[in-house]
Structure 1
Amino acid sequence: MNEANPLRQHRLHPLQTLVLSLLLVVLLGFLLKIGQNFLLPIIAAVISMYVLITLSDWLGRLPLLGRTPEWLRRLLVLAGFVGVVAGLTSIVITTGEKMVATAPGYQANLEHMLTSTTGFFGISHDPDWQSIRAATIGRINMQSLFGSVLGSVGAMAGMVVLVVVYALFLTSERGRFAAKLAMALPDDSAEQTKRMVADINRRIGDYLAVKTGINIILALISLLILWLCGVDYALFWAVVIGLLNYIPYVGSMLAVLFPVLLTLAQFGSVQTTLLVAGLLTAAQMFVGNVLEPNMIGKQVNLSPFVVLVSLSLWSSLWGVAGAILAIPLTSMLVIVLAAFPATRPLAIMLVEDASAYAQLPK
């Protein structure tokens, strides 16, 4: 009996580990959900800091700015960041107010187009159609819809201010992080943590900087298309398209859907709507299939299935903001898991190309 007890305990150990791991994951998910208002601005500020540091290093490689001190380059990048955030916030709020004012005209255009279409097919006075219309389209009030969207945007303005403030302080304190890490951890742990943080800085910073540049190019192309087609609030929709392109797979579809629906409400013309949809889709295909693979390549080494799962997970926790941050957060998790031999198998299961982990010490 005495010899069986250690064996039985040994057999129970993997099960206990699995149960404790699942409990830890559930607890962590619960904390992320209830701590959304507190954690989301901090994580968004950390992600923003990666972009700012990468841009500052890029400025250092330019002929003239490369001779300037590092603090001046970071100051220029921070000033540009604050200006861009303030400008985008102003565009969104101003456009939202105008859309609420013009919503009745959009709804009248939709009503006219619907009446013409049903009249052409001879079903405008059909009782069944009238019941369906009253239960679906008749319940849509575009003014109240735009008003609710504007209210949500206004609520996000406070979080944007927090993100800017956190990013400014994080960027200013980044240089002292290495010294604090060396004092806080033993020699081996400090060196391992430094390498892990450096890997995160390099991969996530490069990915976010290049992805931001790609999204700016896509936004400019979309702005030109929308402006030439006479779509209202072309600058606003170009900003939305650029932001949604951070979301993998789903973001490109939503980026086309929203302005196309507004085009239908603005013009009440199926032909114009199809033209705008075709041009925006062509721009998305060019960026997604030609520009993005050549510029980003394998900087984010994640399995496509893992990308979809992470997108579902983070969007269920934090909504649209979680969907935008899904790729950087999952990439950070993979780098942390790969840094330790005990959790490296999990990292290998999450990546698309595992050859880079074959050379790491076990």
Structure 2
Amino acid sequence: MAKVRTVRSRLDTVVQRNSRITERSLALLATAAVLAFLWLAREFLMPAVLAIFLAFTVHPVVSWLERRHLPRWAAAAAGTLLATAVVAGIFALLYGSFSAFWAELPQYEDKLREAVQGIVRRVAHLQRQGEAMVKPPPGGVKVQESVPWGVLLLGTAQGALALAGEATIAVFTLYFALAEGPRFRQKLLTALSRDAQARERAVSAIAEVHHDLEQYMVNRVAINTALGLVTWGIYALYGLEHAAIWGLTTGLLHFIPYVGPAAGLVLPTGMALLQYGDVQHVLVVAAIYTGIVALQGNVVDPLFLGKQLRLSSIVIFLGSLFWFWIWGPVGLFLAVPLLSAARIICGHVPRLRVVAEFLGE
């Protein structure tokens, strides 16, 4: 009997070990499948997810309209129209401002020529240094004599159609997220009615996701709008041309953690170099930008956002790089709310709480 119990114990140990190995293998395969799906379906997922998170920003307006006895579908339609008008207005302002800036570029021709000549001299110097190590390919260098206008126009048309399709997906997703959100929540809770613990966890997770992301999106939009207006006003008082562009781009880039504020410094300082042509004004413009950003990061954000999303700084940084790798620039805008939603959901699933601990601060 002792031998039989020993054999059974060994068999149970082997079965448990194989079960754990199988479980981990399936988890790795599932993760790889999810990553592949996120990348392959990015043209559909990016606008849809962007619209869902935009719905958190518009939801207070929809709730306010509902409290004024407006039907849910009408309130959702009004919220969708408001969000679409704001986004379209931002794009129209950017397009008009950059078009005006592009039209004025010939005025900076001399300064641009000097800058380009300096770069050309530097490149030529580096090229002469590398000629000893690099040999030209056999048959010489081929020069394309004309611009492939057909390919260029086809690519432009395809890009415009793709952008129109993504915009359509975003608008419809936004409307249905606002109009059908409560109904889908109720359907989910009804499906979990047989498991009281799962239902309780789902209710808690949904409430926390909705509360945290709605507060974050609304506060972030308000803070970045104020940042853009302040930057616009200060640059306009200083006399920097096209101050509206630099204020708008500063507000938009601050949706991107770490990388956005750093990239926002390049645009106004480049304009100062073109406009004034000396280092002194460039340093003043850079100091203005750095002071505004430092004030927001050290005073305004902690005061109004604080540790709202409870995410680790290293997780935000690496997560932003990950979503940029998956979805490009749109992924940078969505990285923080996606990471926050993942932390909350994992925290309410017992087997995934270790993931929530790693994501948390």
TM band (smaller chain): 0.7 to 0.9
Distance 1:77 1:222 in 2: 28
Corresponding residue to 2:286 among 268, 277, 296:
277
In 2 relative to 1, CA 267–309 (structure 1 residues): closer, same or farther, beyond 3 Å?
Answer: same
Corresponding residue to 1:170 among 163, 167, 177:
177
Paired residues, number:
323
Q: What TM-score do you get using the length of structure 1 for normalisation?
A: 0.79
Q: What residue in structure 2 maps to residue 6 of structure 1?
A: 12
Superposed counterparts of 1:141-160, under 5 Å:
156=163, 159-160=166-167
Q: What residue in structure 2 maps to residue 236 of structure 1?
A: 245
Structure number with bigger Rg? 2
Distance 1:185 1:92 in 2: 47
Aligned 8 A contact 2:228 2:247 in 1? yes
In 2 relative to 1, CA 158–219 (structure 1 residues): closer, same or farther, beyond 3 Å?
Answer: farther
Instruction: Tell me whether 98-107 or 212-221 shows the greater mean CA deviation.
Output: 98-107
Superposed counterparts of 1:171-210, under 5 Å:
171-187=178-194, 188=196, 189-210=198-219
In 2 relative to 1, CA 45–226 (structure 1 residues): closer, same or farther, beyond 3 Å?
Answer: same
Aligned 8 A contact 1:204 1:328 in 2? yes
Segments of 5+ residues of structure 1 without an aligned counterpart are: 119-123, 136-146, 353-362
Q: What TM-score do you get using the length of structure 2 for normalisation?
A: 0.79
Aligned 8 A contact 1:231 1:263 in 2? yes
Task: Please report how far the alpha carbon of residue 252 of structure 1 lies from its aligned counterpart in structure 2 after TM superposition.
Answer: 1.0
1:281-305 per-residue CA deviation (whole Å, 9 max, x = no partner) reads 1110111110010101121101111
Segments of 5+ residues of structure 2 without an aligned counterpart are: 1-6, 129-151
Q: What residue in structure 1 maps to residue 124 of structure 2?
A: 131
Aligned 8 A contact 2:201 2:349 in 1? no
Distance 2:122 2:299 in 1: 45
Give the letter aligned to residue 82 of structure 2.
Answer: G
Task: Please report how far the alpha carbon of residue 129 of structure 1 lies from its aligned counterpart in structure 2 after TM superposition.
Answer: 4.6
| 2:99 corresponds to 1:92 | no
Task: Please report how far the alpha carbon of residue 255 of structure 1 lies from its aligned counterpart in structure 2 after TM superposition.
Answer: 1.5
Aligned 8 A contact 1:110 1:268 in 2? no
Distance 2:257 2:40 in 1: 25
Task: Please report how far the alpha carbon of residue 341 of structure 1 lies from its aligned counterpart in structure 2 after TM superposition.
Answer: 1.3
Aligned 8 A contact 1:55 1:209 in 2? no
Distance 2:60 2:169 in 1: 21
Task: Please report how far the alpha carbon of residue 40 of structure 1 lies from its aligned counterpart in structure 2 after TM superposition.
Answer: 0.4
Distance 2:192 2:227 in 1: 44
| 2:301 corresponds to 1:292 | yes
* Alignment root-mean-square deviation, CA: 3.0
Superposed counterparts of 1:206-217, under 5 Å:
206-217=215-226
| 2:73 corresponds to 1:68 | no
1:49-84 per-residue CA deviation (whole Å, 9 max, x = no partner) reads 111113445xx4xxxx89623547656544432221
| 2:84 corresponds to 1:82 | yes
1:83-133 per-residue CA deviation (whole Å, 9 max, x = no partner) reads 211211111222333344334444532333677xx7xxxxx9xx9757238
Q: What residue in structure 2 maps to residue 138 of structure 1?
A: none
Corresponding residue to 1:324 among 329, 333, 350:
333
Task: Please report how far the alpha carbon of residue 179 of structure 1 lies from its aligned counterpart in structure 2 after TM superposition.
Answer: 3.1
Aligned 8 A contact 2:232 2:246 in 1? yes
Corresponding residue to 2:34 among 28, 31, 38:
28
Task: Please report how far the alpha carbon of residue 18 of structure 1 lies from its aligned counterpart in structure 2 after TM superposition.
Answer: 2.8
Q: What residue in structure 1 maps to residue 55 of structure 2?
A: 49
Give the letter aligned to residue 69 of structure 2.
Answer: P
Aligned 8 A contact 1:89 1:157 in 2? no
